[in-house]
Amino acid sequence: MRYMLDTNICVHLMKAHPPEVLARLLQLDHGDAVMSIITYAELRVGLEGLGATRAQNERALHLLTRDILVLPFDEAAAERYGIQRAAVRDRRRDALDRLIAAHAASLGLTLITNNEADFRDYPGLKVENWVQ
């Protein structure tokens, strides 16, 4: 494992757009990229509001999770969350983003996102943008 995919990157992969994201993923060995159960939960919420495209998006999520391992949020991630929450007191930051950041940092993984600003200042977190 080397990378944890943020929710927005998973959405890009499900839509196969922009093509740079899928191209970058295909350069990796199987198992090098994972997603947090927090990201999976966010993706499930997104499916709930869909009407006509729900079945298509449900299938895309199924295909994505067939290839991308979904990791549970464990005690080490919870400990890292406490550290990061104490270090970054900006209450405007999204709680789920904080959990995803903690999960990636606890595993020493680089978080892949195109919302780099959302993850600035988290201690021990490495961030990359595959959309640029």
Q: Which CATH superfamily is domain 3-128 in?
A: 5'-nuclease (3.40.50.1010)
| CB 100 within 8 Å of CB 10 | no
* Cβ partners under 8 Å of residue 109, min gap 6: 1, 2, 3, 4, 34, 126
pLDDT in tens, 84-95: 988 887 766 688
Quote the DSSP letter at residue 32. Answer: S
pLDDT in tens, 9-54: 999 999 999 999 999 999 999 999 999 999 999 999 998 877 778 8
pTM of the model: 0.93
Distance, in Å, from the CA atom of 97 to the CA atom of 64, rounded to the nearest integer, reads 20
